[in-house]
Amino acid sequence: MDDVLAYLEAGRERFLRELMDWLRIPSISSAPEHRADVRRCAEVLAAHLRRIGLHRVEVLPTDGHPVVYAEWLGAPGRPTALVYGHYDVQPVDPLELWETPPFEPQVRDGLLFARGAVDDKGQVYLHCAVLEAYLATRGALPVNVKLLIEGEEEIGSPHLDAFIAAHRDRLAADVAVISDTPMYSAEHPSLCYGLRGLAYLEVEVEGPRSDLHSGSWGGVVANPALALARMLAALKDADERVMVPGFYDAVRPLTDADRAALAALPYDETAVAAELGVPCLVGERGYSPLERVWARPTLDVNGLWGGYSGPGAKTIIPARAGAKLSCRLVPDQDPDTIGRLVADYLRQVAPPGVRVTVRQLHGGRPVLTPLDTPALQAAQRAVERGFGKPPVFIREGGSIPFVATLVEQLRVPSVLLGVGLPDERTHAPNEFFHLVNFYRGMRAVAYLWDELSRLG
């Protein structure tokens, strides 16, 4: 491995520069005004992949943002790995809270600041560096590799299912490798074997045709904002349990072994609360924080609007109010079923005098990889060699909807070898990436191809 590792070592500065150039492209998938930037971001990646020697590099259209595909299949008889990641990023608001502009990457004290630095361009780019290192030093990889880097992960991958149906043959693989998750801590290189799923809803409560004078009409007309508040308050009880009938029916209970494994990881509740700036942690009674985030479903309000919120007072009954809601799901909950149950419940608890519309925006299924999956064990050895320390096995509370599709539809087991850290402010102002893990991640992935090639 010395040749490949030496190449990665010698290339450090250039890899960082190239990543920074890529980060300058504002590939915000949710923003229509950035459509051309998203496309350019895909094309820049494709050009890079061609340059480093990958084959059949294409920017493939979808009904939304394009998918970048590339392959190197020169190792017949060896396993084929599918590297999945995303080149799109989350919006940057509130912009005024960024210390340096989100698309002008800057390194400060070994941290690379930019939107997408760790989620997910930095982690995608480290894979590119490893492929380059093998191809430049040996002219070959020890395994076959396919890359699928999409541009709509941050908006729920709405067009990926159709894409897969159209390109199923290209995506056949023995294992998928995904670097889009945080490690447990800086001291704990990690392999993630579970992700939560997601059901995302938008609810709208409509009352009178237009805003009304609250003096003339207060007392005879239902107030949509108050009606919505009642409906939302009915979603959870004082123990933080979701009150929607049937919500927990499909939840796989935690086994004693699961609980013991989670309890073995250090967790300082007071320190976490202090770090987040909250008085204390809260959550479903009877479960530890890690159990609640990794292995129990939740329901959250993501946004809430209605009526007047400008300076001073305005005496109205608003015509409408609304909220965005999401449930994080665990095996074996189904996003469509849960979405329907929550929607039905909201309609049922709505007070009289208002009209309620609930829409399901997107969803994703949860995943859980069995710990005895051979590729996961190969990854365990690779992380140990790359980081000089064996990984801990973790689950995560976040979602990557395509992973369940890979596992369930394409029958490809997934290795989640992410090298982010929980403090890196993903989706928030001042996102950054600890550069030390950018480089350690390259080493681990270089060893991963070596380890996987031995699986035959």
Q: Considering the complex, what minimum distance in angstroms separates the CB of residue 301 from ligand BES?
A: 15
Nearer Cβ to Zn ion (68/135): 68
CA atoms within 13 A on the CB side of 430: 7
Q: Considering the complex, what minimum distance in angstroms separates the CB of residue 128 from Zn ion?
A: 19
Angle, helix 435-453 to helix 121-138, in steps of 10 degrees: 50
Nearest position to Zn ion, beta carbon: 119
Phi, psi of 59 (to 5 degrees): -100, 100
Quote the longest CA-to-CA distance of the chain. Answer: 81
197 binds, among Zn ion, ligand BES, none (CB under 5 to 8 A by kind): none
Nearer Cβ to Zn ion (119/150): 119
Q: Taking CB under 5 A as the rule, does residue 119 contact Zn ion? A: yes
398 binds, among Zn ion, ligand BES, none (CB under 5 to 8 A by kind): ligand BES
Contact code string over 61-100 relative to Zn ion, x by CB under 5 A: ----------------------------------------
Give the C-alpha separation, 449 to 141, whole Å.
Answer: 8
Q: Taking CB under 5 A as the rule, does residue 396 contact Zn ion? A: no
Binding site for ligand BES (CB under 6 A): 119-120, 153-154, 156, 180-182, 198, 364, 396, 398-401
If you write DSSP's letter for every residue of 32-61 in order, what string do you get?
GGGHHHHHHHHHHHHHHHHHTT-EEEEEE-
Nearer Cβ to Zn ion (247/433): 433
Nearer Cβ to Zn ion (119/132): 119
Alpha helix positions (H), 168-244: 214-217, 224-233
Segment lying near Zn ion (by CB under 5 A), choices 75-83, 111-119, 142-150, 358-366: 111-119
86-109 burial code (b ≥16 CB/10 A, e <16): bbbbbbbeeeeebeeebbebeeee
Segment lying near Zn ion (by CB under 5 A), choices 9-17, 113-121, 128-136, 301-309: 113-121
88 binds, among ligand BES, Zn ion, none (CB under 5 to 8 A by kind): none
Q: Considering the complex, what minimum distance in angstroms separates the CB of residue 440 from ligand BES?
A: 18
In one letter, which amino acid is 261? A
Q: Map the footprint of Zn ion across residues 153-212, applying CB under 5 A.
A: none
Q: Considering the complex, what minimum distance in angstroms separates the CB of residue 115 from ligand BES?
A: 12
Distances 410 to 81, 148, 407, 413 between C-alpha atoms, Å: 13, 14, 6, 9
Q: Parallel, antiparallel, or unpaired: how do β-strands 190-195 and 392-395 relate?
A: parallel
- 449, 142 contact by CB (below 8 A): yes
Q: Considering the complex, what minimum distance in angstroms separates the CB of residue 367 from ligand BES?
A: 11
**Which are the catalytic amino acids?**
88, 153
If you write DSSP's letter for every residue of 242-280 in order, what string do you get?
B-STTTTTTPPPPPHHHHHHHHTS---HHHHHHHHT-SS
Nearer Cβ to ligand BES (7/125): 125
182 binds, among ligand BES, Zn ion, none (CB under 5 to 8 A by kind): ligand BES
Alpha helix positions (H), 253-359: 256-263, 269-276, 289-294, 335-349
Nearest position to ligand BES, beta carbon: 398
Q: Considering the complex, what minimum distance in angstroms separates the CB of residue 253 from Zn ion?
A: 29
